[in-house]
Amino acid sequence: MVDHEVTQELTTASTTVGGTTKVADEVVEKIAVAAARAVPGVVELGGDVARFFNAVFDRVGLDQLGDARRGCSAYVTGDAAVINLVLVIEGGRPVPEITGEVRAQVTAAVEAYGLRVDEVNIRVDDVAMGGSTT
């Protein structure tokens, strides 16, 4: 008795539907902020004014307002993004080390969503000495 191997070939019909997809700048900002906050040595995001208003919001019970995108602006054109971050870093830590890790983490996080990151520009706005920002 001879065994016959049966090979079944599956074919899939590929249908391409037209249209465009636009990723909002705000989406990229949220992704970038989450990635930047996860880097050791990053204490906070946002400049002096943003941190002032955030402290006021915290006092009146609106502590989540603006946190997701604070300290970040992003500009998405097609499939590419340019990201600008404002950081407060931990005192005594090397700036190039922290900012290099922030760039790497933000780039990886955003590119995981299928976008290309052309630039991650970082401004270190403050240094936290002993747990407070000055």
Pairing mode of beta strands 80-90, 116-129 = parallel
Find out if CATH 2.40.10.170 is the number for domain 25-133: no
Neighbours of 66 (CB within 10 A): 14
Q: Helix (H, G, I), strand (E, B), or coil: what is residue 24?
A: coil
pTM over 0.75: no
Q: CB of 52 within 8 A of CB of 87?
A: no
Bridge partners, residue 73, by sequence: 84
Query: What are the start-end ranges of the E strands in the chain?
Result: 42-45, 72-77, 80-90, 116-129, 132-133
Q: Helix (H, G, I), strand (E, B), or coil: what is residue 117?
A: strand
**Domains of the chain, residue spans:** 25-133
- pLDDT at res. 129: 86
pLDDT in tens, 50-84: 444 455 445 555 455 455 567 899 999 999 999 99
H or E segment to which residue 92 belongs? none
